Amino acid sequence: MSDLPNLKKRIADEFSAPGRTLGQTGTSLSAADDDPLPPDDGSYVPREKFPALKPALAVTGLFCSAAILGAGIDAGFYLLSASLAGAGVMGAVLLLRDWYRPAAAHGRAREEKAKDKRWERSETSQLLSTIHDALGDIAIIREPGGKIVQANTVFCRLTGGSRPEGMTCEALGINFESATGPNHYHVRIVTGTTVKLFDWHDVIAREPASGVFMLHSIARDVTEESRVAREREEARRKAEIASQAKSRLLATVSHEIRTPLSGILGMNDLISQTRLTSEQKNYLAGMSQSGHALVQLVDDLLDFSSIEAGRFELRPTPEPLRETIENVVEMLSHRAHEKGIEIGTTVTADVPGLMDFDTARLRQVLFNVVGNAVKFTHTGGVLVSASVERETIVIRIDDSGPGMTPQEQARVFDEFEQAGGNAQRSGGSGLGLAISRRIMEEFGGSLTVSSVPGKGSTFEIRFPARGCDLIAAACARKGVLSGSRVLVMAPAGPASKALASTIRTLGGFCECVETLEDAQAAAIRAQSQTTLLTDIIVDHRHAAQFRQLLAEMPSLEQQKLRKTYLVNPEERHGRPINQMDGYDAWLIRPLREKSLVAVLRGRMKGMEVRDAINDNRPVLRAVPVLREKPIEGGVLLAEDDPVNAFMVRAVLERAGHSVRVVGDFEALAVALFDAPATRIAPELLITDLNMPGGDGLSMLKRVREEERQSGRKAVPVIVLTSDTEVDTREKLLVAGASAVLSKPADPKALTAEIGRLLDR
């Protein structure tokens, strides 16, 4: 027993380490039993390496101490050995339990988290499927091998299967047609008696759980859109066919109309060159006017067709705007004078002398708009004025006609729409203003109207001023009449207003009076000023008042005023006007600025000799001289219409040319290529584009090819055609035509062109 104190001391030392007590050990055990679940992120670390060993050793130590004290030292050692063995087993069991509990808890947490993620993916997928179902879209997921893993309700309904999982799209009868871009297809799905067209897109994405690449497909039903697109394309194709048919019809009609028109106007020109009475000349003038009006109508129809087909093209060149406006107004003046109304024109000094625009098209617009104003005006008259506003040319056409209501103004530019009464509407086709507006839009400008019922209308033409120096133009004409002080005796109206405006814009002074009393007052005011009157212009309707003015104010005769007589074109043939009438010069209404300036500056005294119709045609640069004897070889004329052939032949023979006529392309080929070598080749060829027996363009190419192969001199070729298309003209010029003239050919223009080609 002597070793008992030592054994107690040893046990006490063993179980009495610093910071370790039985209470603490118990607390540790309780903590181990109540240890919470480890985190599922794999970061769990045990607080101690062997948490069950401490309580096991403590219990074993207490048990052994009690056994030794109670049974003695010898028996106690046996009990101690057994206790130590039991403590070892218990410690091992507790150790395994402590290791297993956190590992199992960690595994359960990871499994639960994986289940949560699978549930979230399933819920998201279900939500997307519901959305696609509501939109009527197909949504499926496929394995890399093509087997369907998941499909929405729309796909199941369209394919007729409740569970398509495990099947392929090909097995379900779905065919893929490549569309634009990768992974983009057109898919047709047969559903009963109908076929649905889907716009199909594939997207490859990795599955987060398995890491396997899956094919996600979305497809939208485009059956209705495809049907609408097909119908739209079919409508467009039909519209193109209809437009082509309309163009062919108009070209054919144009050719058929122009052919007899060429004969009418040509014969009219030939008759006008013979000895005629005044009455016969008036009849011929009316015939020529009607013929040119019909030509204008044909041109309007062709222009309308070209604009609708998108083939309309402008050809701007440097041209004088003032002369273009004056030509149109002068050509329409006889219509105005026949109705007893006035017409005048004025152009401000800042309008350039030359600028870039398509003369023929602008003339066409002016003819339509000014002609319309004359047509609907019965009292008063029409005033055409041009000016510059912020680098834009503005041409205003003011009339004193009946005006238009807002409803009429809204539709006046529509095709085949006309205002006015039945008699006025029967005088036109209703295309003129519609085509004029479209032409001005091609100019980059506009055509508008403002009107007040009962007070007349104002049409306004606007287009950009191109190819000119506006600053230099404003200075060029500003002071041309700076030394002129003019008194005008004329009725109030567009003619006197245009005259006064022209004098003032050119730097002169002008006062217009209507009555004798006003004329006397103006003359008295002028005499009281230091600057006296230099000119007095008297309208033929105020000739009697002017004579009375001179009788009552003889001082006017002493001032040496230049006296100018103003008459209508029709009045110059009505009575002989000569120097004995007391006038120094004469002018014809509507006035041209050039003539007015020449008279006021004393450079012209005689009456102008003009033709209101021919002034609107292109001015010939040189008048052809008649030949004393025919050219060797002469002119070969190919024309199938006998009237046109007769007319052209007469024009050529009058100009001194010998002419041979053939009536079709076969006869032309014989005359050109199969003639004996001894026959002299023609000096000039004039041919119609459309004749029996061939094609004019092909014949022209053959002529040029034969000349290249044989080395002969190229024969000038003039082509006459009713086709006014720009493309036709360009093709003919490229093929070798020397000149292309539209039918009806102007005899003067034809003669001038022949003279240019033969004298070159």
CATH of the domain at 429: 3.30.565.10
State whether 457 and 350 are in the same domain. Answer: yes
Do both 343 and 406 map to the same domain?
yes
Higher pLDDT, 467 or 419: 467
End residue of a domain, out of 420, 437, 469: 469
CATH number at residue 714: 3.40.50.2300
pLDDT, residue 613, reads 36
43 plus 156 within the same structural domain: no
Q: pTM above 0.85?
A: no
Mean pLDDT score across all residues of the chain:
76
Cβ proximity of 684 and 632 under 8 Å: no
| pLDDT score at 609 | 42
Task: Kindly tell me if the per-residue pLDDT of 68 is higher than 70.
Answer: no
Do the domain assignments include residue 443? yes
Query: Comparing 49 with 379, which gets the higher pLDDT?
Result: 379
The larger pLDDT score, comparing residue 494 to residue 213, is at 494
Please give the Cα distance from 106 to 43 (Å, whole number): 10
What are 630-639's pLDDT values in tens digits?
445 688 998 8
Type and span of the H or E element at 60: helix 53-71
Pairwise CA distance, residues 662 & 652, whole Å: 15
- Mean pLDDT (whole number) for 626-652: 73
pLDDT of residue 74: 58
Three-state DSSP class for residue 449: strand
- Of 522, 548, 546, the closest CA to residue 533 belongs to 522
Same domain, 490 and 601: yes
Closest CA to 60 of 80, 30, 32: 80
Instruction: Tell me the C-alpha distance between 382 and 345, whole Å.
Output: 9
Q: How many domains does the chain have?
A: 5
Taking residue 454's Cβ as centre, other Cβ atoms within 10 Å add up to 8
- Res 332 pLDDT > 50: yes
Q: Indicate if 322 and 444 belong to the same structural domain.
A: yes
198 lies in a domain? Answer: yes
Q: What are the pLDDT digits (tens) for 234-268?
A: 988 888 888 777 777 766 777 667 777 777 777 78
Within a domain: 197: yes
- Domain of residue 581, residue span: 479-616
Q: How far is CA 75 from CA 5, 71, 79, 82, 626, in A?
A: 16, 6, 6, 11, 167
Task: Tell me the pLDDT band of 119, cut-offs 50, 70 and 90.
Answer: low
The CA dihedral of 620, 623, 629, 631, to the nearest 10 degrees, is -30
Q: Tell me the CA distances in angstroms from 122 to 116, 150, 153, one per residue in order.
A: 10, 11, 15
Whether 186 is in a domain gets the answer: yes
Confidence of residue 523 (pLDDT cuts 50, 70, 90): confident
Look at residues 616, 645, 678 and tell me which one is the last residue of a structural domain. Answer: 616
In this structure, the answer to whether residues 609 and 669 fall within a common structural domain is no
Q: Is 271 a domain residue?
A: no
Pick the more confident residue, 500 or 179: 500
Which of 73-87, 115-129, 450-464, 723-737 is modeled with the greatest confidence?
450-464
pLDDT at 341: 92
Q: How far apart, in whole angstroms, are the C-alpha atoms of residue 539 and residue 508?
A: 19
The last residue of one of the domains, among 435, 469, 503, is: 469
561 shares its domain with 591 = yes
pLDDT of the residue at 169: 86
Of the pLDDT bands very low, low, confident and very high (cuts 50, 70, 90), residue 723 is confident
pLDDT at res. 568: 80
The pair of structure tokens assigned to 371 is 């002609």
pLDDT at 123: 60
User: Are 495 and 394 found together in one domain?
Assistant: no
Task: Please tell me whether residue 412 adopts helix, strand or coil conformation.
Answer: coil
Q: What is the pLDDT of residue 417?
A: 54
C-alpha 712: how far from chain center: 48
Find the mean pLDDT for residues 336-343: 89
Kindly tell me the sign of the dihedral angle through the C-alpha atoms of 712, 714, 719, 724. Answer: positive
What count of residues does the chain have? 760
21 vs 178, higher pLDDT: 178
Query: Given this model, what pLDDT does residue 64 score?
Result: 58
Amino acid found at 286: G
The string of pLDDT tens digits covering residues 471-516 is 777 777 888 898 899 999 999 999 999 999 999 999 999 999 999 9
- For 461-469, what is the mean pLDDT? 89
**What is the predicted pLDDT for the residue at 98?**
60
Residue 263 lies in a domain: no
In a domain, 425, yes or no: yes
The answer, yes or no, to whether residue 50 has pLDDT greater than 70, is no
- Is a pLDDT exceeding 60 seen at residue 297? yes
Confidence (pLDDT) at 483: 87
| pLDDT top residue among 130 and 195 | 195
Q: CB pairs under 8 A, 24+ apart, for 614-618? A: 615/327, 615/330, 615/331, 616/327, 616/328, 616/330, 616/331, 616/363, 617/746, 617/748, 617/749, 618/749
In a domain, 458, yes or no: yes
Same domain, 543 and 658: no
**Do 653 and 608 fall within a single domain?**
no
Q: What is the pLDDT of residues 39-48, one digit of tens each?
A: 544 444 454 5
Q: What are the pLDDT digits (tens) for 145-155?
A: 888 888 888 88
Do 148 and 170 share a domain, yes or no?
Answer: yes
User: Worst-scoring range by mean pLDDT, 128-137, 158-167, 298-307?
Assistant: 298-307
Same domain, 334 and 461: yes
